[in-house]
Amino acid sequence: MLSKICEGVTPLAKEAMQTAQKRWDTIAKPLNSLGKLEQIIIKIAGITGDPYWKLDKRAVVVMGADNGVIEEGVTQTGNEVTALVMQNLCRKTAAVSYFAAKAQADVFPVDIGIATNLTEKGIIDYKIARGTHNIAKEAAMSRQEAIKAVTIGIKMVERLKKDGYQIIAVGEMGIGNTTTTSAVACALLGISPQAAVGRGAGLSSEGLRKKIAVVTQALAINKPDSTDGLDVLAKVGGFDLAGLAGLFLGGAYYHIPMIMDGVISQAAALAAVRICSQIKPYLLPSHLSKEPVSRLLLQELALSPIIDGELCLGEGTGAVLLLPILDMAEAIYQEMDSFEQMRMAAYQPLL
């Protein structure tokens, strides 16, 4: 399937993007005055192949998984919190649930590797195993498990496209996943743990030092290949990160705009690019995470985020936050009068 996906990813639709650019240039306002908002509207035209796309039906996919590395004491809480938050997602009482309700998006909680067996109504059961192994001692998972997790992400996109969804915001839930993310980022970027590791959901200075030591040990033991996204995900990643990578691959293949959340989805997106470089133009950033490595990951992906709010909650909250901003930009793009309709002289590009 991964070979099929990579071979099937086509370049962004240039004609649709050119049409979208022309539309922006005719709207009765100063040229390029909405900056990144104009660029992202044009990019969505390229992704969908339609300069007058609609985003009326939107989804949020939250990949839930546990991480064996919490054995090393790198978190404030245990993996029981992963299950609790995923249950709250099903009950529509998690943080992202309230964001999604305001943004008129449907939330899809996916159990891709939670340690607890959840029976809550609404959970999508794609469990591969009850959490990963401890990356400070061994590989997180086998390569075949990594492929399975990536494939699940691709299948989720296929499923949602068939159900008529037009845009997908991505999120995750998994205690310990900022540690695995830091290890993945170090491997992919070739940087030191000191440059990548942050405080996650909240660590003391002593906890941060321990987390840096654990990531250093994980990289030394597992020796992930930075050129092989699957190898990195399998050795020092998590089921949630691999599932997110699959979502980005599926979005490019099925021409569905995928909104990245913070540092975890950014690391997963870079792993997906190492698996299939053709997907890089399809990635849509939302915000700059509070985690220190977020800026480095976005630079490597050649992306500039719309929002800089020092967010680090996860669950896809930052990705969903972009949806109402897109709605506002789309309203101008689709509905505002042109210079001709306003009987105004058009702005001319500055020389």
Active site residue ranges: 315
The count of C-alpha atoms lying within 13 angstroms of the C-alpha of 225, restricted to the half-sphere facing its C-beta, is 9
* 188 φ, ψ (degrees, to nearest 5): -75, -35
Cβ-based neighbours of 164, under 8 Å, separated by 6 or more: 57
> What is the four-CA torsion angle of 183, 188, 189, 192, rounded to 10 degrees?
30
Distance CA 263, CA 265 (A): 6
Distance CA 232, CA 273 (A): 12
Distance CA 254, CA 258 (A): 10
**What's the distance, CA 56 to chain centroid?**
20
